[in-house]
Structure 1
């Protein structure tokens, strides 16, 4: 089929046509129909004769006998000083003449096509996709449930083991953790917010159980009480093995969560539990403890606690404790530590730290909470602040709500970043909970509330719920493994001696 086939069936452009448009039609290389007046290929013989092998033409029979599709159509462009094209395909290799394509009709047509395309492209999506309606609370809760099936919800602190000591003297034979919410003294206690049904309802994926030792036991029987509390945690998990599984690593948390179980971990609360001994620290780690809260509300001989106003922080032995924790793979917990202890630990630690149950000092200026300058150091360290639900530390009074928890989470996010905030409610160790977060069943409602804010994505919720803590735990394990490869030996510095009148001559 020749390129002029069918031209005798179509009249040329009207002689009354605007001369400029007529000239444009005769010379424009585009395949457009120019408002029904035809195109260059209908009315012209290409100015370059000879071999046209560089140009292929296909006839579209569905579009009619005069509708042709051309590839490399620019090879048909005529040379005209008013336009710019690449050199004609059948011109000599030396022909490099180029001018600018500025034909007014071509410009007009291009503009029209662009406007029409934009109108269709923008208008249609708006018509088909009106702004979506906000999700209902039940829809947000469904989304949270799906998220927490993929990411374990990890709570950094629960004091149920201390309640076991207070209420039943660590005797578990007659304890039914699936029903204690209906039994005394648990049912009426303001300190009791945890049992199996409520943990399941709260979609809890992993829980750090606190092996807490009161400050008054320091230099007395603190080590013994710590061992007894670790023992009761382990037995509690064994008795409730249908639901709980003791774990020791980040990988085990993920694996147990995939099995539908609640991963249980041990955290020792209070550096006085060490009895100033690195050997005791190593023993606690070997028994399963995976974090140590450096101080409680009291000082130790090597670290100052939250209520200390002096500028002292960690002693040389305290710094050695931090290094030995890094070597072991034990997480450094700075909740309850003084500002100076926290700064010193952040400066010494080679691994990320946590605040297992604290909130933002800028919103409530209690000594438990974390000031903004420390939040920035936590971000630099790679650590996580796990937000506590104690009403007085959230609102500085007893009338806290879910909104107060959200404010603290958002503040820590704004100062430190989304990667550095987590959850450490402190249930069973608090007697004033926020309205709406009364017990361990209520975590999903907190996440659903956060999802009302467009700043919070599903990925952000997963980070807050557990991914941030898992990242910290994995990094702590990475530092441990590197030190093992480097054959770093256990530290053997003796702790400070304290004569409390009840130590033997062999100490």
Structure 2
């Protein structure tokens, strides 16, 4: 053999095998480390290229980071912006009359009401989901009795309390029938929890103190049953307050709140029941704003300066809304009813946005919300035909320059602030030992003023 081959065959066979095995292990390790290093280089090079591309695109197109969601700002496209905003700040509507549809459409038979499919009017679960609804007040409304039925002193229509209890029952029944979609809520904390869980917060509201049967005691029992606002009037006067009528004002009876009405507001403050000023006369609204210790709401009212009907809130009353001296925190939740929005045939999404903008201008954008009145109205604005259309309204306001925070306030944040404020006032009053109001309507004939035993 030649000398150049000698080193390859030195040693015995076992040594030769051991050297080969050692060399193979080192080779495998080197190859594996090389592959890992190569993969890392490829990955980091790719990320670097993507970063450089993103930077270049961002420099060329300043809106790229907004549209991609990288900046935290809303996208430039109004429809996409509305969807993204509502994903984190869904609509909390101040007034929907769904229980009324169940009453007259199905005689309150909860088992037969198909909320998970297309309903005959404006509201059902699929459209609520499409409209990005995070919560709404279920109005447990029953209408005013006729003057002949109730009598001149509102004493005879006691069945309105019975009917209200039936509406509370049907609302709760529908909420519990669909537990994957609705969450029964009685506090601001409950509402936030429901929204976090992806459910539709469901709160109860009584639309008119004519449903109290002239009794503050009935108010307390409604609160125990989960009701969290009472509208001081509907289209009729009652023992507590004057109504605004409908499109034109009614002649006053009490010239605002009656003596019993002032006591009612005080008891609502003590309980944490929201004072709702929709449907009230201008004098009632002004007196309640000034007398209430807690923030108040208009659950479904628009701006009279935009469309002059008595159901809308005038600028003179809006001037009392705010955080300044002589003002009260409140939220005006804008109604979508065609006759309250514009002249016949002219109500559309732009007109609704005009109402919202006007209230935002006069009272401030922290004092406006949404209270559609869906399922309780026969004429809806073009572009806002049902609960699936809320995103279109948000897109319209976004185009008008409303910011992300302002829109989130409109969709529900402003209402939640007011609700939390009312809860705090109630807690403070109860901690201070404020006693319940036991005042009795002075026209009642079934209770003597005092009886000697």
Common fold, TM-score beyond 0.5?
yes
Q: Tell me which moved more, 146-155 or 380-389.
A: 146-155
Q: Which runs of 5+ in 2 are unaligned?
A: 1-55, 68-73, 151-155
For structure 1, which runs of at least 5 residues remain unmatched after alignment? 1-124, 187-191
Counterpart for residue 472 of structure 1:
418
Deviation at 1:337, TM superposition (A): 0.3
Helix, strand or coil at the partner of 1:377: coil
**Matched residue, 1:101:** none
| More moved, 378-387 vs 323-332 | 378-387
Does 1:141 find its partner at 2:79? Answer: yes
Cα distance in structure 2, aligned partners of 1:485 and 1:251? 20
Separation in 1 of the partners of 2:345 and 2:107? 30
Give 1:347 deviation, angstroms: 1.1
Is the alpha carbon distance of 1:172 and 1:247 closer, same or farther for their aligned partners in structure 2, counting shifts above 3 Å?
A: same
Please tell me whether residue 215 in structure 1 is matched to residue 141 in structure 2.
no
* Correspondence 1:56-95 to 2 at 5 A: none
**1:252 paired residue number:** 190
- Does residue 387 of the first structure (1) align with residue 334 of the second (2)? yes
Q: Distance in 2 between matches of 1:498 and 1:272?
A: 15
Say which SS state the counterpart of residue 381 (structure 2) adopts.
Answer: coil
Deviation (angstroms), 1:505: 8.9
Pairing of 1:201-240 with structure 2 (within 5 A): 201-216=130-145, 219-220=156-157, 221-240=159-178
Q: CA deviation at 1:137?
A: 9.6
Quote the residue 1:309 is aligned against: 251
Matched, 1:321 2:264: yes
Distance 1:238 1:128 in 2: 53
SS in structure 2 at match of 1:358 = coil
1:272 aligns to what? 210
Using the alignment, how far apart are the partners of 1:386 and 1:274 within structure 2?
23
User: Relative contact order: is structure 1 or structure 2 higher (C-alpha 8 Å, sep ≥ 6)?
Assistant: 2
Partner of 1:68: none
Displacement of 1:437 after TM fit?
0.4
In 2, Cα distance between the equivalents of 1:504 and 1:312? 26
Match of 1:86 in 2: none
- Aligned residue for 2:234? 296
| Alpha-carbon distance in 1 for matches of 2:266, 2:255 | 19
Q: Which residue in 2 is equivalent to 1:13?
A: none
Offset at 1:132? 5.1
Aligned to 2:153: none
Instruction: Give the counterpart of 1:440 among 387, 397, 404.
Output: 387
TM-score by length of 1: 0.69
Partner of 2:300: 357
- Indicate conservation of the 8 Å contact 1:215/1:272, yes or no: yes
State the SS of the aligned residue for 1:435: coil
Picking from 264, 276, 281, the partner of 1:338 is 281
* Paired residues of 2:275 and 2:297 also in contact (CA < 8 A): yes
Quote how far apart the aligned CAs of 1:130 are: 6.6
Q: Deviations over 1:402-456 (max 9, x none)?
A: 10011000000000001100000000001100111000000011001111122x1
The alignment's TM-score, normalised by the length of structure 2, stands at 0.78
Question: Equivalent residue of 1:442, what SS?
Answer: helix
More helix by share: 2
Please name the residue that 1:43 is paired with. Answer: none
Partner SS state of residue 327, structure 1: helix
Other-structure match for 1:402: 349
Correspondences of 1:487-506 after superposition (within 5 Å): 487-498=433-444
By how many angstroms is 1:398 displaced?
A: 3.2
**Matched-pair contact (CA < 8 Å) for 1:353–1:378:** no
Cα distance between partner residues in 2 of 1:244 and 1:132: 37
Query: Is 2:226 the counterpart of 1:285?
Result: no
SS at structure 1 position matched to 2:229 = strand
Q: Is the 8 A contact 1:301 1:496 kept in 2?
A: no
The structure number with the bigger radius of gyration is 1
> What is the root-mean-square deviation of aligned Cα atoms in Å?
2.3
Q: Which runs of 4+ in 1 moved over 3 A?
A: 127-139, 503-507
Q: Deviations over 1:88-109 (max 9, x none)?
A: xxxxxxxxxxxxxxxxxxxxxx
1:52-102 deviation line (CA, Å, top 9, x unaligned): xxxxxxxxxxxxxxxxxxxxxxxxxxxxxxxxxxxxxxxxxxxxxxxxxxx
Q: Which range is displaced more, 394-403 or 353-362?
A: 394-403
Q: Is the 8 A contact 1:298 1:304 kept in 2?
A: yes
- Tell me, yes or no, if the aligned pair for 1:276 and 1:496 is still in contact at 8 Å: no
Q: Match for residue 411 of structure 1?
A: 358
Within 5 A, what are the aligned runs for 1:20-169? 128=59, 139-169=77-107
